[in-house]
Structure 1
């Protein structure tokens, strides 16, 4: 299993680049960037690819509804060419509250939309559609998928899935069986909030205050119910080095091909967590 960094802090562009550089210095394999309503993750990935040689850059995830697949293919292939083909493109339909509430677009039939979108996107990335970018190889495509239908689509039309808020048990008992049923050697990338800390309960409370609203988004609510949890903060792995290391090993045992470490806590706790991730990166 590979260990990478999930860069969720979008407050400063240079900070995101420096976080990726520090991750590479610690031996982490990748840096993935999210799309909220701030920095464009593909542009950030291109900048990081230029600034940090060798590291894989990825998105987790680009929202599909606001971007035509032809436009996304052109941008992704441009980033692939600019980074020496180190891009992994994570995409997903996002949530009704965002697509309809913010963008004003219809979120009707997201599974059907995703299937059609991936079919068109893969054709454009392969060079058999409208987009031609010399020197670019088609990036691997991951689909954000938590439910059975989306996992099937990920297995059939993408190169794997990227998940969030999933426990190791969910990866083993739910994610892997469903995607393995329709795919050979899929990539299963799990973004996990981690904190090496002496104050685990406080860290969880801090995250609950900042991100607890996500617990009510339907796809996350269904996942948390499956896991017997009420709030996304309950998925955080927090404790001493042995506790966090054991959890990372559990994801490897569950069948995750990658863990994306999302650092939470104060600056000292984030540093401790990154050091541990670096120590484990070469041993899994």
Structure 2
């Protein structure tokens, strides 16, 4: 499950993590956009639920220096030995440039260079050298983790997917339908047997299809107009479906862009229905080759005003055991 959940304060997430573990969830994965940072929710989970596995999906490679990113990852790996996976990615110009005042240049090279720095740094080695996008002089972790965390690479198109297969310990996928998975996995040929394939999957567990589609329409028109995601879906062959949305967005017509997203695509990218139906749809990703499906829970009419009890019920219904 993606954490933190809903509007529950972080200080009150002990109950959320307990409910997730009790429902059969094995992992919690954080995101880093404009809410919490990627590491704090996982540090709390490490203390409150020592059996949960933890992961970042993802930590941007531009918004921290290489050394600080290694230190943050090492600290969490020390707090949760053998239970933490570091997911890194290029992020987007809005988050990097507009919100953090950092140039968003050469994202592929920067991501590759940070990956190549992190692998030896997290093993406790001294790193000294010039990369294409930065230089590191005599960096060595004072507290290298006893169990170095695997480093996973967020990837969409062939170049980054091939880099992940060649040099990372896994990949993190996002904003794809279950029937897109084989196309993506075809670019990962040659990866080692223990290579982890993670996919974030948006889930809106409600029988109110109109609510789910309205929410999905807003999300898709906001996310899939970001250049990297637009290029990803063009590569997947979605120009006929998403072309009207892209043209409306480019013309400044935000409402028209959202209205142009077809219902059948929303239904493939934002899973909705009863908890049983949502779990069956998630299973399609696993059957297609995803090893770790990470749910991103979206608000539903049932959750609105329902408080902790409604959230716990939803978690239990979505869990691997389906509450049984």
TM-score interval for Structure 1 and Structure 2 normalised by the shorter chain? 0.7 to 0.9
Question: Which residue of 18, 25, 29 corresponds with 1:21?
Answer: 18
Once the two structures are superposed, the pairs formed by residues 1-284 of structure 1 within 5 Å of their partners are: 5-7=1-3, 9=5, 11=7, 12-129=9-126, 130-133=140-143, 136-174=146-184, 176-209=185-218, 212-225=221-234, 226=236, 228=238, 229-230=241-242, 233-234=266-267, 235-264=269-298, 265-266=300-301, 267=303, 273-280=314-321
Find the counterpart in structure 1 of residue 248 from structure 2: none
RMSD: 2.6
Cα drift, residue 206 of structure 1: 2.4
Of residues 156-165 and 221-230 in structure 1, the stretch that sits farther from structure 2 once superposed is: 221-230
- Hey, what's the Cα distance between the residues in 1 that align with 2:2 and 2:48? 17
- Hey, what's the Cα distance between the residues in 1 that align with 2:182 and 2:108? 23
Cα drift, residue 17 of structure 1: 4.4
* TM-aligned CA distance change 1:92 to 1:224, over 3 Å: same
Structure number with larger C-alpha Rg: 2
3-state SS of 2:319 partner = helix
3-state SS of 1:146 partner = coil
- Hey, what's the Cα distance between the residues in 1 that align with 2:106 and 2:145? 36
Per-residue displacement from partner, 1:45-64 (whole Å, max 9, x unpaired)?
11111011200011111111
Of residues 230-239 and 183-192 in structure 1, the stretch that sits farther from structure 2 once superposed is: 230-239
- Hey, what's the Cα distance between the residues in 1 that align with 2:237 and 2:34? 28
Query: TM-score by structure 2 length?
Result: 0.77
- Hey, what's the Cα distance between the residues in 2 that align with 1:135 and 1:99? 28
Cα drift, residue 271 of structure 1: 5.3
Cα drift, residue 96 of structure 1: 1.6
Cα drift, residue 151 of structure 1: 0.6
- Hey, what's the Cα distance between the residues in 1 that align with 2:143 and 2:288? 38
- Hey, what's the Cα distance between the residues in 2 that align with 1:164 and 1:44? 20
- Hey, what's the Cα distance between the residues in 1 that align with 2:276 and 2:202? 16
Tell me the number of residue pairs that the alignment of Structure 1 and Structure 2 aligns: 278
Runs of 4+ in 1 over 4 A off after TM superposition: 8-11, 231-234, 268-273, 280-283
3-state SS of 1:132 partner = coil
- Structure 1 residues not aligned, in runs of 5+: none
Per-residue displacement from partner, 1:79-134 (whole Å, max 9, x unpaired)?
11112332111111101222122222222211111111100111111111211315
3-state SS of 1:131 partner = coil
Higher relative contact order (CA 8 A, sep 6+): 1
